[in-house]
A and B are shown apart, each in its own frame.
Chain A
Amino acid sequence: MNITLKNILAPWAATFAVCLTTFVVGCGGPAPATTETEEPAGSSAEAEAVASWLDEGETELLDVEKTDLVFGFIKLTDCAPIVIAKEKGFFDDEGLSVTVEAQANWKVLLDRVISGELDGAHMLSGQPIAATIGFGTEAHIITPYSLDYNGNGITVDPEVWRKMQANDPKLDTPTPPHPITADALKPVVEEYKQAEGKAFPMGMVFPVSTHNYEIRYWLAAAGINPGFYTDTDKAGFTDADVQLSVTPPPQMPATLEQGTIKGYCVGEPWNQNAVVRDIGVSVCTNYEIWKNNPEKVFGITKKWADEHPQTLLAVVKALIKAGKWLDEKNPDGSFKNREEAVKYLAMPNYVGADEEVIANSMTGTFLFQKSDRQPMPDFNVFYAYNASYPFYSDCVWFLTQMRRWGQIGETKSAEWYDEIAKKVYKPELYKEAANLLVAEGFISADEIPDTDGYKPPTTDFIDGNKYDGRDPIGYINSFEIGNKD
């Protein structure tokens, strides 16, 4: 052990440091700014942007009803459009002062949006839908903006991974072929059930989260029953081979490490976090389960939207600009701004994970295990493929999964699915904001999709099943495991 002067002095320094923390931080806090060369994040560029339109005097600021807003988020990289809109000054450009506040979990976040403490929030796609149809807390929540596509992964315990490798020799290499299905997991689940006499424990983040539907899809595609929700079983354990319990995303790696769960489905950076820390192996991303699947949305209450129409328009404008900024590419096809975005996200008041962990997925690659880094340019999509546009067909897909797993208890008509989609997803608000941006020259008109809200039918799923949002009943009946109408 080398003892240097610094090592000896450091403990001393720390003692006094902590004594003085309060005073020093206090004095250092509100002190007037010095003329440091380092620029505070994104201030000059944004000041120029405001200057230019104000000088031209052609476009005017919207007459917002409320200037000081608070938005909630969960520490996940897909809150990026909200963070970027704030840090790059896009909210400022619209005359909005936005505070972005981390929330403890999805339930707290939703409750605070409903109670009005938060003006809006980064939400799971399923949350506005479930709240509106009354599964869980009931409230009419709408979404005018889809935050991103993809971005989730399924990670298992290294021990489970070794057993999967034993079951399928193809996987027994440092770089196994992708996508990895749950076929190799099936014997592990059965063995565990026989040995322990109970279902195989895995984690997901919320009953109506995309992760819940994705991990169920992945398991069911391999013939593993992930359990059904019924009138009396609100936890979704009925007939389960795999018991999926709720854990907040940031606690997933710790829960896996403790052995409470054997695997989980969660958003970034919590898969990469486990891989980097050697406590998990990522087996599948949701991009492989369903190519370009909808993930988070920006949710607000219908009431708030009605009371603050101009403010909402201004917010959506800023978010569209942020989404576009995030997906801008260099001529060589690499992302232009993602590294800067990673720096913002790594700040302790946002996602706060280490920069390299966030960068793993945000800059176009995904680390399945330390020996297996795969290019995955579309792992986080914020704007390309119209990812920010709220499509009705995306809403209907979530509704079909809620019906498939019993969260919607009774048979509904195809019209009902369309009706709910139109009640929750508000592309008209998106279009209005986007048109203003076209007029101001920030985006071009062809970036707004020309659609009735339903995407064409697709078979981009891990099991090749065909999804057509106009035929929800047919889709629900097409699954082997799941409720039928």
Chain B
Amino acid sequence: MKFKYKLIKALHICGIGVFEPVVHLVTGEEPAKQIPRIGKFIVVPIVGVVAFMFAWHFAAAGLKTSYGDFPGPSQVWAAVGDLREEARVDAEKRVAFAEKKAKNLEKMQAAADKAAAAGDDEKAERWMSKAESEAGRRYSGSPTYWDQIITSLKTVFTGFLLASAIAIPLGVICGLSPIFNGMLLPYIQVFKPVSPLAWLPIVFILVNTAYATMEPAPLADKTDETAVAAYEEALEFKSGFEGWIPPAFVSSAITVALCSLWPTLTNTALGVASIEKDHINVARVLKLGTFERIFKIIIPSSLPLMFAGLRISLGVGWMVLVAADMLSQNPGLGKFVWDMFQNGSSQTMSMIMVAVFTIGFIGLLLDRIMIVLQKLVSFDTAVAA
């Protein structure tokens, strides 16, 4: 029995409380009451989904576009199969590449040994240096659909963390100081509704400028060996850094951050400003210092609202990401959609539909995760929608 209530609580925390009647039913508790509840909250949505699928199927069959027929559920399913096939072929290529590389390395090593045995050290060294560059060579396939999903997730979380790092401290200050809040408010009001499409070109230019400043100044004197070495090292660092964190990724992530920091900022400010007077009074009585007051009283009691803001922020960030990826050519889901559109083939629409569903489901998943976190920090048991 105890386990049963734990399970029900866990279901609620995970945002799948609709399964509660099932638990009751399985344990034989008031079956007459549970069945209508199951019907209402589980069967009805499933019937709805199936009905929609049929409606989609028949509506799509009659819709002809110049790109071909509008894809129905079965065409979209076929596109999923194609994407899986693509991933399989890519995995095979990856293995073939590794095998070939190992074989090449072996041969290069053999050639180096042969040259060394013949006393041609210079040739042996040349072979060794080639073997070294072969060893460092990476597989260079096009990103698979899975890779693109991963890139999108990485980008959105980078942007989201960046936004939170800015929005939470600012929000706390705004909540504590009505004067500061009054100064910042006009900016918040003006920037909140700005679309990512407006920010992106500016971010793009700034990020590219930042990367360009990493470029070492051209050498005037190429005879100075230490200077040449330093120059080459700087160049190598720049290209290594670009490979590690590509500018397109940074542009996308910053755009996501710019669009998603507002809900966190306003909610945090509200949460801090609406702390119960009693709590503040307790802090006074205890003579807590400023930092202790912020970390022990203010932040904990504003957490529920702060997390509500973070949840909206992540949702906004995920929505903005697709547009940002499209424009900055960051190889995520947005670029996938754009590339498929550019292909203009008979598969274009079904591939885009796959992306639409993927984006939707991941968005849903992210939202559920945030609900769980939000509930974990909330003292009250209010159910988030």
* Residue B254 interfacial (CB < 8 Å): no
Given contacts A29-B146, A97-B139, contact A250 B130 (CB under 8 A): no
Chain A residue at minimum C-beta to C-beta distance from B211: A115
- Is B243 within 8 A of A115, CB to CB? no
CA distance A102 to B347 in the complex (A): 18
* Residue B237 interfacial (CB < 8 Å): no
* Residue B137 interfacial (CB < 8 Å): yes
Query: How near does chain A come to B336, taking the closest CB pair, in angstroms?
Result: 9
CA distance A54 to B109 in the complex (A): 11
Chain B residue at minimum C-beta to C-beta distance from A10: B74
- Give the interface centre of A33, A69, A96, A277 by most chain B CB atoms within 10 Å: A33
Q: Could you say which of A21, A61, A75, A357 contacts B342, with CB atoms under 8 Å apart? A: A75
8 Å CB contacts to A: which residues of B27-70?
49-50, 53-54, 56-58, 61, 66-67
Query: How near does chain B come to A341, taking the closest CB pair, in angstroms?
Result: 17
Chain A residue at minimum C-beta to C-beta distance from B123: A60
Chain B residue at minimum C-beta to C-beta distance from A25: B146
- Is B357 within 8 A of A307, CB to CB? no
8 Å CB contacts to B: which residues of A10-60?
10-15, 17-19, 21-22, 24-26, 28-33, 36, 40-41, 43, 46-47, 50-51, 54-55, 57, 60
- 1/0 per residue, CB under 8 A from A, across B225-252: the answer is 0000000000100110011001110000
Pick from A226-234, A236-244, A345-353 the stretch touching chain B. A345-353
CA distance A26 to B329 in the complex (A): 23
- Is A22 within 8 A of B358, CB to CB? yes
- Is A54 within 8 A of B107, CB to CB? yes
- Is B246 within 8 A of A279, CB to CB? no
CA distance A248 to B338 in the complex (A): 13
- Is B134 within 8 A of A95, CB to CB? yes
Chain A residue at minimum C-beta to C-beta distance from B96: A43
Query: How near does chain A come to B363, taking the closest CB pair, in angstroms?
Result: 12
* Residue B149 interfacial (CB < 8 Å): yes
- Give the interface centre of B339, B340, B361 by most chain A CB atoms within 10 Å: B339
Chain A residue at minimum C-beta to C-beta distance from B326: A104
8 Å CB contacts to B: which residues of A321-380?
346, 348-349, 351-354, 357
Query: How near does chain A come to B232, taking the closest CB pair, in angstroms?
Result: 9
Q: Could you say which of A6, A7, A279, A346 contacts B66, with CB atoms under 8 Å apart? A: A279
8 Å CB contacts to B: which residues of A76-104?
86, 92, 95-104
Q: Could you say which of B61, B97, B362 contacts A22, with CB atoms under 8 Å apart? A: B362
- Is A108 within 8 A of B339, CB to CB? no
Chain A residue at minimum C-beta to C-beta distance from B204: A111
- Is A1 within 8 A of B136, CB to CB? no
Given contacts A54-B104, A68-B140, contact A353 B344 (CB under 8 A): yes
- Is A21 within 8 A of B242, CB to CB? no
- Is A11 within 8 A of B56, CB to CB? yes
* Residue B208 interfacial (CB < 8 Å): yes
Q: Could you say which of B130, B144, B354 contacts A21, with CB atoms under 8 Å apart? A: B354
8 Å CB contacts to A: which residues of B115-134?
126-127, 129-130, 133-134
Q: Could you say which of A14, A24, A96, A101 contacts B53, with CB atoms under 8 Å apart? A: A14
Query: How near does chain A come to B128, taking the closest CB pair, in angstroms?
Result: 11
* Residue B185 interfacial (CB < 8 Å): no
Given contacts A47-B103, A54-B111, A348-B340, contact A19 B140 (CB under 8 A): no
CA distance A307 to B49 in the complex (A): 59
- Is A12 within 8 A of B53, CB to CB? yes
- Is A67 within 8 A of B126, CB to CB? no
8 Å CB contacts to B: which residues of A268-302?
270, 273, 277-279
Q: Which residues of A contact B308 (CB under 8 A)?
A: none
* Residue A485 interfacial (CB < 8 Å): no
* Residue A253 interfacial (CB < 8 Å): yes
CA distance A220 to B72 in the complex (A): 47
- Is A352 within 8 A of B361, CB to CB? no
- Is A108 within 8 A of B329, CB to CB? yes
CA distance A68 to B137 in the complex (A): 6
* Residue A190 interfacial (CB < 8 Å): no
CA distance A86 to B97 in the complex (A): 12
Query: How near does chain B come to A188, taking the closest CB pair, in angstroms?
Result: 23
Q: Which residues of B contact A108 (CB under 8 A)?
A: 329
Q: Which residues of B contact A309 (CB under 8 A)?
A: none
* Residue B80 interfacial (CB < 8 Å): yes
Given contacts A22-B358, A352-B339, A352-B340, contact A40 B89 (CB under 8 A): yes
- Is B136 within 8 A of A67, CB to CB? yes
Q: Which residues of A contact B149 (CB under 8 A)?
A: 22, 25
- Give the interface centre of A47, A86, A102, A346 by most chain B CB atoms within 10 Å: A102
CA distance A351 to B340 in the complex (A): 10
* Residue A235 interfacial (CB < 8 Å): no
Can you name 22 A-B residue pairings with CB atoms under 8 Å?
Answer: A7-B57, A11-B53, A11-B73, A14-B76, A17-B76, A19-B361, A22-B149, A36-B92, A41-B89, A47-B96, A51-B103, A51-B107, A67-B136, A75-B342, A101-B329, A116-B239, A346-B345, A349-B339, A352-B340, A352-B345, A353-B343, A354-B346
On B, residues with C-beta under 8 Å from A are: 49-50, 53-54, 56-58, 61, 66-67, 72-74, 76-77, 80, 83-84, 86-97, 100, 103-104, 107-108, 111, 114, 126-127, 129-130, 133-134, 136-142, 144-147, 149, 208, 211-212, 215, 235, 238-239, 242-243, 246-248, 326-327, 329, 331, 338-347, 351, 354, 357-358, 361-362
Q: Told that A7-B74, A67-B138 touch, could you supply 4 new A-B pairs with CB distance under 8 A?
A: A15-B49, A22-B146, A97-B138, A248-B342
On A, residues with C-beta under 8 Å from B are: 1, 6-7, 10-15, 17-19, 21-22, 24-26, 28-33, 36, 40-41, 43, 46-47, 50-51, 54-55, 57, 60-61, 63-64, 66-69, 75, 86, 92, 95-104, 108, 111-112, 115-117, 248, 250-251, 253-254, 257, 270, 273, 277-279, 307, 346, 348-349, 351-354, 357
Nearest 9 CB-CB pairings of A with B: A352-B343, A11-B53, A10-B74, A14-B73, A250-B342, A18-B357, A349-B142, A11-B73, A97-B140
